[in-house]
Chains A and B, each alone.
Chain A
């Protein structure tokens, strides 16, 4: 298994540009989520999905959209990038079941918005 993969690893955008951060997992996990990591802030939940076709907002959803058309993929879209979205973005997934506890993280995407 490749686990959780994220592309690209690095990205530089200009203010107002749009882009999609890709996240995929090959472990048949139902739950997937996006976090952003900023210095001194820990990880904050942006959006999450409990299965294909189901998404919901996390703690900091403004400026981001998600969709979940398949179990494997959970892309994060920035419609109009702003400097405040400069951050490191992590995707994570968890297997199904009430006893689910561990989340598996991707390697991250480092985004800079100028």
Chain B
């Protein structure tokens, strides 16, 4: 069965600092991996995804993530945080053609001026 663990329910950074949100997954088959962002009182928006091919994936708003099979990780990074990045971030895994997404519990990112 697939599962996702997000390390740290709350991450706080200063504006301009590196953002690192951690995600580890478990899957019995090659996974599809996703990061979604949720701004206050809104639905979820796709940031980026890994399906096959290049393991470094670039997404919207300057975010990127690297799929590391040996570490079963898919950490999300951004070199320089902006105030507008404050939101909750969810990592999710899907096993191949199986439609079902399994989400992590989320990480709330706070950006301090």
Contact = CB atoms under 8 A, between A and B. Distances in A.
Contacts of B90: 42-43
Interface residues of A, number: 26
Interface in A29-47: 31, 33, 35, 40-45
Given A42-B90, A43-B90, A103 B104 contact: no
A34 B74 CA distance: 25
Contact of B94 (A50, A90, A101, A108): A101
The size class of the interface chain B forms with chain A is 20 to 34
Contacts of B94: 101
A103 B46 CA distance: 8
Given A105-B43, A107-B42, A42 B103 contact: yes
B103 A43 contact: yes
A45 B106 contact: no
B44 interface: yes
Interface string A33-67: 10100001111110010100000001000000000
A90 B43 contact: yes
Contacts of B36: 105
